[in-house]
């Protein structure tokens, strides 16, 4: 199967890549859903990381947000072999588009030119009133980050209850691609998990365990993502 997939990738001119937390784990970044010691029976992660909770109690929200995402450590992470492989795919092709659920910014750091951060980014925060955007450094420095206009900043990740801004754009990309390559995601989060359904080209899934959406794909590999990528590069 590896040989067949290598041949498909080699002959694909426009590749759409959908990525999830499994792409970043090799960089040492855990899936925030697996965070321990931060959830209680009274408050689920969905509540704590919701737009409603931010607007109701922004000070408390920022306490949980910084703990969950460990923002101070974010600057210590870098792209891994999966990110670099996707960057190398761009050479000599018409187009490679990355649509990622990850909010760590590592696809852009690896040099990919066309990246849609489907769930936003940890790298910045913006004022919900005047719209001014600030860097991660300011967010880290201040316990509760404020805008110069006096309002508390809102992180630029998509919180529970927020609208997904780029779904239609992502759909258009997978519809046009010769190949849709899905890496390191369980495809359990809507509406991201609906993107493979509208893809018209060959569809390949590589994840470390089966998903409920395996039936959508022409090829599925259930194995360690980094190890599979090394085989595809060989």
Determine whether 107 is an active site residue: no
Distance of alpha carbon 78 from the chain centroid: 14
Cβ partners under 8 Å of residue 216, min gap 6? 196, 197, 203, 205
Per the annotation, does 220 bind a ligand?
no
Per the annotation, does 127 bind a ligand?
yes
Per the annotation, does 130 bind a ligand?
yes
User: CA neighbours within 13 Å on the CB side: how many for 150?
Assistant: 0
The Cα–Cα gap between 103 and 105 comes to 6
Catalytic residue (choose from 14, 63, 107, 119): 119
For 209, the token pair is 């365990």
For 218, the token pair is 């022409």
Distance of alpha carbon 138 from the chain centroid: 23
Q: Binding site membership: which residues?
A: 127, 130, 147, 149
Q: Which residues carry out catalysis?
A: 119
Which residues are documented as binding site for Zn(2+)? 127, 130, 147, 149
């Amino acid at each position: 199967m590896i040989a067949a997939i290598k041949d498909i990738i080699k002959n694909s001119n426009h590749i759409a890549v959908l990525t999830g937390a499994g792409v970043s784990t090799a960089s040492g970044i855990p899936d925030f859903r697996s965070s321990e010691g931060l959830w209680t029976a009274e408050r689920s992660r969905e509540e704590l990381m919701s737009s409603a909770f931010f607007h109701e109690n922004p000070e408390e929200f920022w306490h949980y947000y910084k703990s969950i995402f460990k923002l101070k450590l974010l600057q210590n992470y870098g792209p891994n072999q999966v990110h670099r492989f996707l960057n190398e795919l761009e050479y000599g092709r018409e187009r490679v588009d990355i649509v990622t659920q990850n909010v760590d910014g590592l696809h852009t750091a690896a040099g990919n030119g066309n990246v849609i951060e489907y769930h936003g980014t940890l790298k910045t925060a913006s004022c919900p009133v005047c719209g001014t955007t600030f860097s991660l450094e300011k967010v880290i420095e201040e316990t509760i980050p404020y805008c110069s206009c006096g309002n508390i900043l809102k992180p630029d990740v998509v919180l529970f209850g927020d609208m997904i801004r780029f779904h239609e754009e992502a759909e258009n990309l997978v519809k046009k691609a010769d190949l849709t390559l899905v890496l390191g995601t369980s495809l359990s989060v809507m509406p991201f998990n609906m993107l493979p359904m509208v893809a018209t080209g060959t569809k390949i899934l590589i994840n470390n365990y089966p998903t409920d959406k395996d039936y959508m794909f022409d090829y599925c590999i259930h194995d360690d993502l980094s190890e599979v990528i090394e085989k595809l590069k060989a």
